Amino acid sequence: MSSEKYINAAQQRALRTLLILADHDLDGLTPGEIARLLATLPSNTTRDLANLRLAGLAEMLANGRWRITPRVAELAQTLQQNLDKARRRLEEIQRRYSRDHKE
């Protein structure tokens, strides 16, 4: 069964919007700039930004520009913590099975 049938163009566009915002996190982008970069209608960008805001992943600045929220960085930190935890577990297992291990 192909996963192609599960692809949704609107969801893909929203994800691309998030990635574009991540590339412009300092100053943000206007909705018009985002629409041009994605080659989509401004109404699509407005809808995508509203959904990203609802998810806590994008925010509008006082000047009307949009950027990602700290939530995105928090997700990356959580991933790194989980990887560190997994590494420590693997190291502990490795020590347990090491020839040098003596109880």
pTM of the model: 0.78
- CATH code given to domain 1-68: 1.10.10.10
21 token code pair: 């915002």
Any idea how long the chain is?
103
Q: Where are the domains of the chain?
A: 1-68, 70-103
pLDDT tens-digit map of 41-79: 999 999 999 999 999 999 999 999 999 999 999 999 999
Q: Using H for helix, E for strand and C for coil, what is the string for 47-71?
A: HHHHHHHHCCCEEECCCCCEEECHH
Cα(69)–Cα(57) distance, integer angstroms: 5
Q: Does the pLDDT of residue 101 top 60, yes or no?
A: no
Buried b (16+ CB within 10 A) or exposed e, 60-81: eeeeebbbbbeebeeeeeeeee
Q: What's the confidence (pLDDT) of residue 100?
A: 66
